[in-house]
Amino acid sequence: MSVNIPVTNKISPFLVFYLIHTMQVGVGMLGFQRIIATYAGTDGWISVLLTGVILHILMWMMYKMLAIVDGDIVTVHNYIIGKKATKIVCIPIILYFCLFAISVLRTYIEIIQVWMFQELETFWFALIYLLLVIYIIYGGFRTIVGIAFFSIVLPIYILVLFLFTVPFADFSNLLPIFDHSIGDILKGSRNMTFTVLGFESILLFYPFIKNPKKSHKYAHLAILFTTIVYLYICILTFSYFSENQLQKNTWPTLTMWKIIRLPFVERFEYIGIASWFLLILPIIAISIWGTSRIIKQVYSIRQRRSVLVISLLCLIGICIPTTRSEINMVTDLTAKIGFYFCYIYVPILFVATLIKKKVKKS
């Protein structure tokens, strides 16, 4: 059942840290605080911690499942239900990863249009961006990994600059702790789904890892680091804004950047938005690459051709939503599908894989 990948196309186990982390640091970081505070209020930081714990459990399930079949998500389905049924089941998975790429890039374009260039044409920006993504994908998986590495290392300075808000913060805003019910905190955790999506991409590139079992710890370190980053930003945001102010800010992170004043730049939020150009690049690339790889395995269509078709479909999908409510509808749909896929379907696959393994042994 194993997937044979040439050693020259595989990556070192530690690089999984960058792949998982970069997939989770997308446009959601710019506005997740308001979303989780809708239910959990200033106890939203507890929702962040709870989400981190759940992600660790799901990552463990994925690694256990992938190790059994020694392959990717297609191999898992072939192992459980056979090749014919896999051709049908993989269609929603393909559409999900396409929708994920569309929602991330469309949200980023909206941010540019609202904060920087109001007259920016969605079509032309998306076309140029997707052409760049196609160029990266054609360079091979190792090229994508290189972009993911630099997308984390180069903008890391942004985390330090959040400390500019500390002189204006009131940490008493976080009190009283546990002021909301468990149900509200769970709802806040669920509302964070879109922000942390992307970790499930391990289901796509697992066969491309040298000694994948050694990469398990790096995947968990990536989730831990992501959780710490979101917790850090969450606490600073809740300290900087009152709860009423937070609900009036669509992108609280960008609003916080407005107070940063440096000798060489007056409007730091412009620098931050420009940095996100690099941050979301590997997210789009991995999503489209993974989708094209599933199509290649299941339907025997050349990957280079399917990348072009998928990119064209993504371009059309990006241009359809035009208003804030329509874009919000797309991200909400992505979050809902991602929740059911990661939190429900993956555990079902995990249990089914274990049952199948026991049946085969007996």
Residues 61-92 have pLDDT tens digits of 999 999 999 999 999 999 999 999 999 999 99
H/E element, 191: helix 182-191
How confident is the model over 228-251, as a mean pLDDT? 91
Give the whole-number percent of the chain exceeding pLDDT 70: 99
Domain contains 335: yes
How confident is the model over 115-132, as a mean pLDDT? 94
Residue 308: the pLDDT is 96
Over the Cα atoms of the chain, what is R_g? 20
Q: pLDDT tens digits, residue range 311-356?
A: 999 999 999 999 989 999 999 999 999 999 999 999 999 999 999 9
Q: pLDDT tens digits, residue range 164-197?
A: 989 998 888 888 888 889 999 999 999 999 999 9
How confident is the model over 286-300, as a mean pLDDT? 95
Q: pLDDT tens digits, residue range 39-54?
A: 998 899 999 999 999 9
Domain contains 362: no
Sequence-separated (6 or more) residues with CB below 8 Å from residue 256:
162, 165, 236, 237, 240
Query: Regarding predicted confidence, which is higher, 10 or 269?
Result: 10
Domain contains 357: no
Residue 52: the pLDDT is 96
CATH number at residue 93: 1.20.1740.10
Residue 3: the pLDDT is 63
Residue 288: the pLDDT is 97
pTM score of the predicted model: 0.94
Full residue range of the structural domain in which residue 187 is found: 7-352
Taking the chain, what is the end-to-end CA distance rounded to the nearest angstrom? Answer: 19
Question: C-alpha distances in angstroms, 267 versus 155, 163, 255?
Answer: 17, 16, 11
Nearest to 315 by CA among 107, 106, 137, 138: 106
Whether the per-residue pLDDT at 224 is higher than 80: the answer is: yes
Give phi and psi for 95, each to the nearest 5.
-65, -35
- Here the tokens at position 136 are 């990266």
Domain count, the chain: 1
Domain contains 358: no
Provide the sign of the torsion angle of the four alpha carbons 12, 16, 22, 23, taken in this order: positive
Confidence class of residue 260 from pLDDT cuts 50, 70 and 90? confident
Domain contains 361: no
Domain contains 360: no
Sequence-separated (6 or more) residues with CB below 8 Å from residue 35:
191, 192, 195
Q: Which stretches of the chain are assigned E, i.e. beta strand? A: none
Residue 249: the pLDDT is 87
Amino acid making up residue 329: M
Whether the per-residue pLDDT at 302 is higher than 90: the answer is: yes
Domain contains 184: yes
Domain contains 192: yes
